[in-house]
Amino acid sequence: MGLLVQKFGGSSVADAEKIANVARRVAESAPGNQMVVVVSAMGRTTDGLLGLARQISSAPDLREMDMLLSTGEQVTIALLAIALQARGLKARSFTGPQVGLRTDHAHTQARITQIDADRVRRSLDAGEIAVVAGFQGLSDQDEITTLGRGGSDLTAVALAAALKADVCEIYTDVDGVYTADPNIVPDARKLARVAYDEMLELASLGAKVLQTRSVEFAKKYGVTVHVRSTFRPDPGTLVTKEEQGMEQAVVTGVTHDRSQAKISILRVPDRPGIAARVFGAIAVKNIVVDMIVQNISQDGHTDMSFTLPRGDYARAVAELSDVAREIGARGIVHDERVAKVSIVGVGMRSHSGVASTMFAALAREGINIQMISTSEIAVSCVIEDKYAELAVRTLHDAFDVGRGIAR
Ligand code: ADP
Ligand code: ASP
Ligand code: MG
């Protein structure tokens, strides 16, 4: 008998009819398998809850945010268990705390510390389909926590690892991982397989089809992840370890991230300790900075720019206004809306000229590059937000990503 973990995202469970459809799909896999089904909140419920809290306070308490956000998934588990029971199947719903998913106490961004899956195992051994709320856990102080946006993916992968499941299937509104967001690039191509390291870069650089931390977890514990469509039966994309013979296209995918902001501090005195002071002030506020650029110094002063998640922008600007004054900088300028476009591919390790091809393609469209960063298998550029989609299509064309050999 196999053990399957299946996860259904928000758009797959957006209304009662869709939940009934999920129950039908789960029922198809049930014969001969033990099944754990992880679900997200219905549709855009989580965004709606965030919006409600923001209407009341610009800086809501994070413990209370977790109390609020975790309610979304709890609605779905009960409804799906009811839908499965209506089909004559044995099913039982569980919250994150009930399945022993323990986390640290970093509210809204908690990390999993341990899973005690005994309760789920007992449910499976009793012949039940275990329906589990994604995105939530219990901290070491017995508080409800959430795992960051998209965190139901992580719940599914972590349960698959703890239960040694045969596969973790992520069901969503697209039928796999594509060479670019298929909703933006019509000729994007579905990848049959993608290596963990590439998927990690794709996810962290904006391909929101999988949460980055779920990919990290899958890599660490060797969980095979199958991303596929809730609405169509065709096979999707397997996320697995890199294999000999995997096609090594120079560029496997193009991603974009439109959730970024940029802050520059002007004419900072160029002396030891200044960067530590600036970024220390940001770090204590738990703000994660992405790209950092420092110009060469002229007459003892330099400019520093960095990008950060747009949600943290207002807090960072408030914090840095004081710091800039203290260290004698001229001031700060900021842009609340920038985009990052990236190309990703393990083939970049052994090819030269990739970055220059990227810059030339953006230049041909008159798109100015504000910041650049590179890793072993990715190159990213920060550009004006309004050019994000054009840039993705341009780069997808320039590297002929849509025409690669299917893996
Ligand atoms: P779910 O609600 O099922 O978790 P998400 O909205 O989190 O779904 O992720 C699916 C979406 O990811 C797709 O609708 C698609 O627009 C987007 N996406 C971005 N980049 C990619 C990519 N490279 N391949 C597939 N989907 C992508
Ligand atoms: N409901 C949460 C979110 O919207 C978690 C998830 O869907 O994975 O981010
Ligand atoms: Mg998601």
Q: How far apart are CA 295 and CA 298, in angstroms?
A: 9
Output the pLDDT for position 351. Answer: 86
Instruction: Give nearest CA residue, ligand 1 atom 4.
Output: 9
Can you give the residue ranges of every domain in the chain?
Answer: 2-173, 254-398
Say if ligand 1 is within 6 A of residue 173 CB: yes
Classify burial at 300, counting beta carbons within 10 Å of its beta carbon; exposed 0-12, middle 13-18, buried 19 or more. Answer: exposed
Backbone phi, psi, residue 263, to 5°: -130, 135
The token pair at 176 is 């796999």
Say if ligand 2 is within 6 A of residue 96 CB: no
Q: List strands edge to edge, sheet with 101-103.
A: 112-115, 101-103, 136-139, 144-146
Residue position matching structure tokens 């840039």: 391
- pLDDT tens readout for residues 74-87: 999 999 999 999 99
Output the pLDDT for position 92. Answer: 98
Output the pLDDT for position 58. Answer: 82
Mean pLDDT of the chain: 94
Tell me what percent of the residues of the chain surpass a pLDDT of 70. 98
- pLDDT tens readout for residues 288-330: 899 999 988 888 999 999 999 998 898 899 899 999 999 999 9
Residues lying with their CB under 5 A of ligand 3, a single-atom ion: 9, 150
Q: How far is the centre of ligand 3, averaged over its atoms, from the C-alpha of 324 (Å)? A: 38
- For 2-173, give the CATH class: alpha beta
Q: How far apart are CA 369 and CA 366, in angstroms?
A: 10
Q: How far is the centre of ligand 1, averaged over its atoms, from the C-alpha of 318 (Å)? A: 33
Output the pLDDT for position 246. Answer: 59
Summarize the confidence of residues 368-383 as an average pLDDT.
95
Output the pLDDT for position 131. Answer: 98
33-39/129-133 β-pairing: parallel
- Tell me which residue of 73, 95, 85 sits closest to 23, measured CA to CA: 85
Helices vs. strands in the chain: H and E counts, helices first = 11, 18
The answer to whether 225 touches 156, Cβ cutoff 8 Å, is: no
- pLDDT tens readout for residues 157-181: 999 999 999 999 999 999 999 999 9
CATH of region 254-398, choose from 3.40.1180.10, 3.90.228.20, 3.40.50.2300, 3.30.2130.10: 3.30.2130.10
Q: Nearest ligand, CA of residue 155?
A: 2
User: Which ligand 2 atom lies nearest to the CA of residue 155?
Assistant: 8
Q: Nearest ligand, CA of residue 40?
A: 2
Answer yes or no: pTM beyond 0.85.
yes
The token pair at 75 is 């609605």
Q: How far is the centre of ligand 3, averaged over its atoms, from the C-alpha of 211 (Å)? A: 6
